[in-house]
Amino acid sequence: MQEQTDPPGEPSPGLVSTAIQAITQHIRSEGLAPGDPLPSEAAMTRQLNVSRTVVREAFRSLSAMRLIDLSAGRRATVAKLDTGAMSMVIEHGITTQQISVQQVYDVRRTIEMRTVALAALRRTKTEAAAIADAARLMRENFKNPETVMEHDIAFHEAIAAASHNPVFSLIVTAFSGVTRRTWVIGWRTRSSDEDQLKMIKGHEDIADAILKGDPRLAAEHMAQHFDKSVKALLDAGIA
């Protein structure tokens, strides 16, 4: 048993926060990698000298942020990098009107101008093919907006992946949720088939530039794509 009878040194921000820190500290100090198991709830309960309630809420919190994976019967394991928490933060900002859709698009533009250039420089052949495939599938399904949207999102995520910097992937993917909620609006403002196909053509131009390995051209096409998308949203009255 421990002898930490809560010395009056700390203002104690709650036992759960302490437990969360203890767990992340454990991951750090043990140098755990994704997939590695964490101590059981019972073990943590003993180690921290608190109730299982507290330990459970700590584990559950980390699971909500996708830092660990929980599943019944099994020990908790260290999680692979996941965009879950970031998505929720962004969504929360949007729904509580602390950030606007246009602000998100500004950030996306900044980031994707870079990912597309990096992708042109670093993409493997497989990645270039995946990007081109997404663009092709947009065209083939262009009568079905929902499907076009999903391939559009996959297109941007594939570019981020081809940048070979997971932090970019993380951020771009976190924005996908916002895209899902606003995409259709932009699509509708492109009333004619011609406009819609022109937008798809823009994606194909980007994919081509990446395949050619021309970062400047790729960035230029990406810039045009974003300018048109933002304009479409503004036309639709999205603040």
Partner DNA sequence: CCTCGAAAACCTGTATGACAGGTTGTTATT
Partner DNA sequence: AATAACAACCTGTCATACAGGTTTTCGAGG
Q: Which stretch binds DNA (CB under 7 A): 14-22, 98-106, 139-147, 228-236?
A: 14-22
Task: Pick the closer one to its own copies by CB: 53 or 224.
Answer: 53
Instruction: Out of 51, 89, 146, 193, name the contact with its own copies by CB under 8 A.
Output: 89
The one of its own copies, DNA, none whose footprint includes residue 41, by CB under 5 to 8 A per kind, is: DNA
SS (H, E, C) the chain: CCCCCCCCCCCCCCHHHHHHHHHHHHHHHHCCCCCCECCCHHHHHHHHCCCHHHHHHHHHHHHHCCCEECCCCCCCEECCCCCHHHHHHHHHHHHCCCCCHHHHHHHHHHHHHHHHHHHHHHCCHHHHHHHHHHHHHHHHCCCCHHHHHHHHHHHHHHHHHHCCCHHHHHHHHHHHHHHHHHHHHHHHHCCCHHHHHHHHHHHHHHHHHHHHCCHHHHHHHHHHHHHHHHHHHHHCCCC
Please state the closest distance from residue 231 (CB atom) to DNA, in A.
45
The one of DNA, its own copies, none whose footprint includes residue 141, by CB under 5 to 8 A per kind, is: none
The one of its own copies, DNA, none whose footprint includes residue 85, by CB under 5 to 8 A per kind, is: its own copies
Give the per-residue contact string, 33-52, with DNA (x = CB under 7 A; - = no): -------xxxx------xxx
CB atoms inside a 10 Å sphere around CB 97 = 8
Interface of this chain with its own copies, residues 163 to 222, rule: CB under 8 A: 165-168, 170-171
Tokens at 130, concatenated: 């995946």
Please state the closest distance from residue 53 (CB atom) to DNA, in A.
4
Does 50 contact its own copies by CB under 8 A? Answer: no
Interface of this chain with its own copies, residues 19 to 38, rule: CB under 8 A: 20, 24, 27-28, 32-34
Does 14 contact DNA by CB under 7 A? Answer: yes
Cα Rg of the chain (Å, integer): 23
Tokens at 6, concatenated: 């809560």
Does 85 contact its own copies by CB under 8 A? Answer: yes
Instruction: Out of 25, 30, 33, 74, name the contact with DNA by CB under 7 A.
Output: 74
Site residues for its own copies per CB under 8 A: 16, 20, 24, 27-28, 32-34, 53, 56-57, 60-67, 78-82, 85-86, 88-93, 95-99, 103-104, 106-107, 110-111, 114, 165-168, 170-171
